[in-house]
Amino acid sequence: MTAALVNETAARTLWRGQSPIGRRLSTWMDSTPEAEVIGVVADVKYETIDGPTRPAIYYDVAQWGGRGSAMVARIAGDAASAVPAMRRVIAEADPTIAVHRVETGDQMMIRAASSTRFVTMLLSSFGIGAALLAALGVYGVLAYLVSQRKREFGIRIAIGAMPSSVLGLVVKQGVVLTAVGLVLGVAGAVAGTRVLSTFLYGVARADLLTYATIIVLVGAAGILAALIPARRATLVDPVIALRE
């Protein structure tokens, strides 16, 4: 009788509420014989860090005459730079040992998070594009309003209005447009997290810091976009504006 270990998910799936120790199991996906469960180990994710944990069974290959082992080392500093030294120490201990597949923890994390990283980069690109479109939209609307109200601004300046007041008037409109967009955008983001929650890693669905950062960045982009047409409004020549 061979021995095997199961992870916590397998124990819950196969023997819910019961002890798996001493139980026997066999698989039909390979030629492994029936095995007796001698222990339960913690769950480990092998494929993706954001995917569900799957049931797992661990065998000692030496039970069937196989050879092989895995070694885990903790390094203080750069792990990649220590790999040649580790290979050298293993070769000195036993030159017949073939070292296969050496990976650092960072490399394993990058591989496990590759799909999540791609989706994150894609969504980030969409977010940056949306922020630029929002800034261009604010700029376009205010530039059009300034061109339509050039005569009004000329009259205001002619009767003694300060350029700063005209600047503040146009910027205020830009702030209102940006605020309305932010309210609608945040509401859409809160609703969208229900669908995109599986792509979130290390960030909660209601992460206040993330929302605050986005509001500040998009708000700043909207105000900067409003300053260009607002500055143009302060440079309106009253004489030319009244003649048009």
What is the residue-level pLDDT of the chain in tens, covering all 244 positions? 688 899 999 999 888 888 889 888 877 656 667 888 999 999 887 766 667 788 888 887 777 666 667 777 888 778 888 888 888 888 888 888 778 778 887 777 777 777 777 777 887 888 788 878 888 888 888 888 877 777 777 777 777 778 788 888 888 888 888 888 888 888 887 777 776 666 665 666 667 887 888 888 888 888 888 888 888 777 776 666 556 5
> Does 136 lie in the same domain as 76?
no
Are residue 6 and residue 49 in the same domain, yes or no?
A: yes
* Total tally of structural domains belonging to the chain: 2
Distance CA 201, CA 30 (A): 34
187: tokens are 């509401």
Quickly tell me which residue has 């982009």 as its tokens. Answer: 221
The residue among 80, 104, 128 that closes a domain is 104
Q: Indicate whether 129 and 91 sit together in one domain.
A: no
Residue 44 sits in the same domain as residue 65 = yes
Residues 130 and 221 grouped into a single domain: yes
Residues 199 and 227 in one domain: yes
183 with 222, same domain: the answer is: yes
**Domain interval for residue 200:** 113-243
Same domain membership, residue 120 and residue 59: no
Same domain (yes/no): 175, 218: yes
Contact 43, 12 (CB under 8 A): no
Choosing from 76, 104, 132, the residue where a domain stops is 104
- Are 215 and 117 in a shared domain? yes
Displacement of CA 123 from its chain's centroid (Å): 8
CA torsion through residues 103, 107, 112, 115, sign: negative
Task: Indicate if 229 and 118 belong to the same structural domain.
Answer: yes
Considering the domain architecture, whether residues 140 and 82 belong to the same structural domain is answered as no
Per-residue tokens: 25: 């199991």
| Burial class of 137 by CB neighbour count within 10 A (0 to 12, 13 to 18, 19+) | middle
Among 104, 129, 156, residue at a domain's last position:
104
Q: What is the dihedral of CA 206, 212, 213, 218, to 10 degrees?
A: 110
